[in-house]
Every structure is written in structure tokens, then in C-alpha cells.
């Protein structure tokens, strides 16, 4: 019913699916040097999330995530517009969107589909800006 409603409404929606189960599959995320730009409290949250996920059985979490991602895939395959998103700051910044995209691919989408199949501005009927956002940006000193 939800899938049909999403398709028939003609509206776009944002997939914010997230599961810490993927931390268990890639515990190296906590030590990834790219995450060192995050503030210390977010680094600590990520380390704790990875440690917790690796100690717990993730089968049920992965099954629920698969159910959620089947809705995303169904909407996309039916011609609807679905964009990948995040609930940050509720989730751990950077990793939540990354894991959202991983989940979309793991559960049936092609990697190029996982980034979303629409341009947010055009889905709202907005036209692209012409020229630089800041007029002085063109000046070169």
C-alpha cells in the first residue's frame, strides 16, 4: 500500500534507511582516516557503534533493512523518485548516508541507482541558478 501511494502521488521522497548492522560487516570504518575530521565525540560514537554491532547478531536487523530497501527499489523501478538521505544529527554524520547507499546496493539496486534517481531542485520545479552564487567569486585578485 505504501509503495502504491508513493508511486501514485507523484511526489518524491527521501530514503533515510540506516542500520548499524553494516558496522559489523565493516568494522574498519571506525579507524578510517577520513573520519578523523569528525569531532572527537562523533569519533567516539562511531567506535562505540562499531564495537556494539560486532558483538551482536545482526540477522534480524539485516532482514528488517532488506524489507525497507525493497520499498525503495520498488518505488524506483515503478518510476518514482527516491533520493538517499540521512537523519543526521540523529545518526553518526557521514557514515549514515554511506551505509544508506550501501544498503540500497546490497538489497538490489545498481550502484548508480543508489545515489537517488532525481535532482532535488528539478523535482521541486526549480531551475538551476545561472552564474556563481557569489558575484565576487569570479574575481581573481
Please write the tens of the pLDDT for every residue from 1-35: 677 887 888 777 788 888 889 899 889 988 889 88
Task: Report pLDDT for 40.
Answer: 92
**Dist CA 48 CA 24 (whole Å):** 11
> Which band of pLDDT confidence, cut at 50, 70 and 90, is reported for residue 141?
very low
User: Residues 106-121: pLDDT tens digits?
Assistant: 888 887 776 654 454 4
Does this model's pTM top 0.75? no
Measured distance CA(5)–CA(32) in Å, rounded? 40
Domain chopping of the chain, boundaries: 2-119
Nearest to 88 by CA among 32, 121, 52, 39: 39
Cell numbers at 129, concatenated: 541558478
- pLDDT score, position 128: 45
Burial 38-47 (b: 16+ CB within 10 A, else e): beeebbebbb
**CA nearest to 49, candidates 35, 60, 66, 68:** 35
Q: What is the pLDDT of residue 140?
A: 44
CB 18 within 8 A of CB 61: no
Contact (CB, 8 A) for 74 and 5: no
pLDDT tens figures, 42-66: 899 999 999 999 999 999 999 999 9
- Please report, for residues 123, 128, 139, the alpha-carbon distance to residue 132 in angstroms, rounded to integers and kept in the order given: 22, 11, 11
Residue 54: the pLDDT is: 95
Contact 72, 15 (CB under 8 A): yes
Torsional sign, CA 104, 107, 112, 117: negative
Amino acid at each position: 500500500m505504501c509503495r502504491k501511494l508513493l508511486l501514485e502521488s507523484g511526489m518524491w521522497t527521501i530514503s533515510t534507511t540506516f542500520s548499524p548492522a553494516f558496522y559489523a560487516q565493516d568494522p574498519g570504518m571506525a579507524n578510517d582516516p577520513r573520519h578523523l575530521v569528525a569531532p572527537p565525540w562523533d569519533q567516539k560514537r562511531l567506535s562505540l557503534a562499531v564495537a556494539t554491532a560486532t558483538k551482536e547478531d545482526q540477522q534480524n536487523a539485516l532482514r528488517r533493512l532488506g524489507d525497507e530497501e525493497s520499498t525503495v527499489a520498488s518505488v524506483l523501478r515503478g518510476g518514482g523518485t527516491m533520493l538517499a538521505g540521512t537523519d543526521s544529527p540523529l545518526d553518526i554524520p557521514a557514515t549514515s548516508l554511506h551505509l544508506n547507499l550501501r544498503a540500497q546496493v546490497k538489497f538490489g539496486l545498481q550502484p548508480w541507482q543508489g545515489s537517488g534517481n532525481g535532482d532535488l531542485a528539478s523535482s521541486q520545479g526549480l531551475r538551476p541558478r545561472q552564474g556563481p552564487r557569489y558575484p565576487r567569486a569570479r574575481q581573481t585578485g
